[in-house]
């Protein structure tokens, strides 16, 4: 009788739990409408961990965690800086479009491992392996290996360790991960006649004794689109066979490809694959994964990406990926990242409590060489960012302000020339040169300017408010720029600015950025009191 009662109670509890889950509000895809490309997702017990690419932004290699697959909290970063070259400091060149790419995340024998290479040349392009006891760190470098493009790390069941990379290439690593086993390189398969375009983005999973290598593919033929393919084999020596596991668009933004699959504690499977959404960047799309005839088929029963997904655990708190900040903390909020390595003594949260102070530390002639430009992602479908700043301590030649940062940027700049202050709305495009990606020039077109000196003096203030509104709905990618002296009455400056995903230069989604730099002499600074963010639905 006791056993029967226990069984009935457990059945009721399970039913109620399932009912509560179905009552959870559905989450629109993308689960994060912001730039989170090259996803790798793993599960450790009941927690999921997600790594993405941030290239030249520091700290780098962000790792996020979630219980429900739709709310992702930043757990930390693999590294604070990269120091292989002064180029990471915006000196002797830049690393725009380079830096940390497509990190492979693994958990093995109680430790996390992250493998990535910089999309670079020579020693700067070598592969890093980092490890940590917890996702939040501390992360330490394990080894530096040859360049492995878009690589995936595998700790196999027999204790051997492999890297899969490029287009179907594989090597074995030594047990201590310090080198490549001599003679272990293998070309697992070659492109078939249909694979005439892109074929990269390796993500290797092992399921029920079989090896599955997921890759992004693009066939350059009429009527064909970006897609995700899978190569599988019973052993690493092959033979490998291929199947298209996803060829679907979503909301008319284009076809989806590159990512990985993973399981839940209950044995269900999901995939996280990114989609290009033009200026906002490459966004992560969550979808079911169904095993059919030994293949991980993605999407719904018809192979289409669901427009909405159910959180897999109820009651999880919302975790926005872009946040407001009043700068009251002693530490930089982890949602911010610097453009290249920061100059540590040229910013402060303590010199003026409740303000972020950005100091000029190096004379440069443009925004793209400015140290300590600090950024957050922009977010779709629409969003707005507002900053409140004090420009009292700018020196002659200083520039401070707020912008949409990319290879082509829309910029609100307060520039001091002599005793005169001017506010400009401009469009700026960087031109990079050579393998060092040196800033050869910046094309600037000033759309509107006003004299701030008289205006602020008449208002008895040195405080200025700047606002950027952005619309990333299909076919738009428009930003508008506004200023105010009181934070309530706003005037638009300049024209509508067409944002772009600049794959030829920076190769990242457009970001909000705060900056202060000197074109004549160092020693000036700008104080930012707050950054206010508002995400907007359609």
CATH number for position 53: 2.115.10.20
Backbone angles phi, psi at 11, to 5 degrees: -65, -45
Task: Let me know whether 260 and 397 are in one domain.
Answer: no
Strands 347-348 and 356-359: antiparallel
Task: Let me know whether 110 and 222 are in one domain.
Answer: yes
C-alpha 437: how far from its chain's center? 21
Decide which of 306, 328, 346 is a domain's last residue.
306
Task: Let me know whether 156 and 73 are in one domain.
Answer: yes
Per-residue pLDDT reduced to its tens digit, 233-292: 999 999 999 999 999 999 999 999 999 999 999 999 999 999 999 999 999 999 999 999
Task: Let me know whether 361 and 458 are in one domain.
Answer: yes
Structural domain contains residue 251: yes
Task: Let me know whether 218 and 283 are in one domain.
Answer: yes
In this predicted structure, what is the pLDDT of residue 458?
A: 86
Q: At 460, is the pLDDT very low, low, confident or very high (cuts 50, 70, 90)?
A: confident
Structural domain contains residue 13: no
In this predicted structure, what is the pLDDT of residue 6?
A: 54
Number of domains in the chain: 2
Average pLDDT value for residue range 485-494: 97
Which domain does 258 fall in, by range?
27-306
pLDDT above 70: percentage of residues in the chain:
96
Task: Let me know whether 281 and 346 are in one domain.
Answer: no
Structural domain contains residue 225: yes
Structural domain contains residue 315: no
Average pLDDT value for residue range 325-348: 97
Task: Let me know whether 285 and 347 are in one domain.
Answer: no
Task: Let me know whether 125 and 232 are in one domain.
Answer: yes
DSSP string, 86-129: GGGGTSSS--TT-SEEEEEEEEETTEEEEEEEES-SGGGGPEEE
Examine the pLDDT at 220 and tell me if it is beyond 90.
no
Is 144 in a helix, a strand, or coil?
strand
Average pLDDT value for residue range 320-344: 97
Structural domain contains residue 2: no
Pairwise CA distance, residues 242 & 287, whole Å:
21
Task: Let me know whether 296 and 343 are in one domain.
Answer: no
Q: Is the pTM of this model over 0.75?
A: yes
In this predicted structure, what is the pLDDT of residue 8?
A: 59
| Residue 223: both structure tokens together | 């009527």
Decide which of 290, 306, 322 is a domain's last residue.
306
Examine the pLDDT at 19 and tell me if it is beyond 50.
no
Pairwise CA distance, residues 65 & 374, whole Å:
23
Backbone angles phi, psi at 38, to 5 degrees: 55, 50
Per-residue pLDDT reduced to its tens digit, 297-316: 999 999 999 999 999 998 89
H or E stretch including 173? strand 169-173
Task: Let me know whether 229 and 344 are in one domain.
Answer: no
Structural domain contains residue 114: yes
In this predicted structure, what is the pLDDT of residue 20?
A: 45
Examine the pLDDT at 12 and tell me if it is beyond 60.
no
pLDDT above 90: percentage of residues in the chain:
91
Task: Let me know whether 219 and 350 are in one domain.
Answer: no
Per-residue pLDDT reduced to its tens digit, 422-450: 999 999 999 999 999 999 999 999 999 99
Examine the pLDDT at 13 and tell me if it is beyond 60.
no
Structural domain contains residue 345: yes
Per-residue pLDDT reduced to its tens digit, 104-157: 999 999 999 999 999 888 889 999 999 999 999 999 999 999 999 999 999 999
Structural domain contains residue 353: yes
CB-CB contact of 339 with 513 (8 Å): yes
CATH of the domain at 364: 2.60.120.200
Decide which of 306, 326, 345 is a domain's last residue.
306
Per-residue pLDDT reduced to its tens digit, 494-538: 999 999 999 999 999 999 999 999 999 999 999 999 999 999 987
């Amino acid at each position: 009788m006791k056993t029967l009662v226990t069984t009935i109670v457990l059945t009721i509890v399970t039913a109620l739990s399932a009912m509560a889950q179905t009552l959870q509000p559905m989450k629109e895809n993308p689960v994060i409408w912001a730039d989170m490309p090259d996803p790798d997702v793993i599960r450790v017990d009941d927690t999921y961990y997600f790594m993405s690419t941030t290239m030249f932004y520091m700290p780098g290699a962000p790792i996020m965690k979630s219980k429900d697959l739709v709310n992702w909290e930043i757990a930390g970063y693999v590294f604070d800086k990269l120091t292989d070259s002064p180029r990471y400091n915006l000196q002797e060149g830049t690393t725009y479009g380079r830096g940390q790419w497509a990190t492979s995340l693994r958990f093995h024998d109680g430790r996390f491992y992250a493998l990535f290479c910089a999309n670079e040349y020579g020693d700067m392009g070598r592969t890093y392996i980092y490890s940590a006891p917890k996702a939040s760190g501390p992360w330490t470098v394990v080894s530096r290996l040859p360049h492995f493009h878009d690589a995936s790390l595998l700790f196999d069941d027999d204790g051997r360790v492999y890297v899969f990379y490029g287009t179907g290439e594989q090597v074995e690593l030594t047990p201590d991960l310090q080198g490549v086993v001599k003679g272990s390189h293998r070309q697992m398969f070659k492109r078939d006649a249909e694979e005439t375009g892109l074929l990269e983005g390796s993500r290797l999973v092992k399921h029920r004794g079989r090896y599955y290598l997921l890759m992004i593919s693009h066939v350059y033929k009429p009527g064909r689109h970006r897609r995700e393919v899978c190569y599988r084999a019973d052993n690493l020596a092959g033979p490998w066979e291929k199947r298209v596991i996803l060829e679907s668009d979503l909301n008319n933004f284009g076809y989806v490809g590159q990512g990985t699959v993973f399981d839940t504690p209950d044995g269900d499977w999901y995939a996280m694959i990114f989609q290009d959404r033009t200026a906002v960047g490459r966004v992560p799309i969550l979808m079911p994964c169904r095993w059919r005839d030994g293949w991980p088929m993605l999407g719904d029963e018809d192979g289409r990406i669901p427009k909405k997904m159910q959180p897999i655990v109820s009651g999880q708190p919302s975790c926005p990926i872009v946040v407001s900040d009043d700068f009251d903390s002693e530490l930089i909020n982890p949602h911010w990242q610097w453009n290249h390595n920061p100059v540590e003594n040229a910013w402060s949260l303590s010199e003026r409590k409740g303000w972020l102070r950005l100091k000029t530390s190096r004379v440069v002639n443009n925004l793209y060489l400015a140290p300590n430009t600090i950024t957050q992602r922009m977010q779709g479908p629409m969003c707005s960012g507002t900053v409140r700043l004090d420009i009292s301590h700018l020196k002659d030649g200083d520039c401070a302000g707020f912008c949409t940062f990319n290879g082509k940027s829309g910029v609100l700049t307060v520039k001091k020339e002599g005793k005169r202050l001017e506010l400009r709305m401009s469009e700026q495009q960087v031109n990079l040169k050579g393998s060092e990606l040196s800033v050869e020039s910046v094309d600037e077109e000033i759309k509107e300017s006003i004299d701030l000196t008289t205006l602020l003096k008449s208002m008895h203030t040195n405080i200025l408010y700047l606002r950027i509104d952005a619309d990333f709905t299909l076919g738009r990618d428009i930003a508008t720029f506004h200023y105010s002296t009181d934070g309530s009455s706003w005037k638009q400056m300049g024209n509508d600015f067409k944002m772009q995903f600049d794959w030829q230069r920076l190769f990242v989604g457009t970001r909000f950025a705060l900056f202060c730099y000197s074109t004549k002499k160092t020693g000036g600074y700008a104080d930012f009191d707050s950054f206010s963010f508002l995400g907007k639905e359609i």
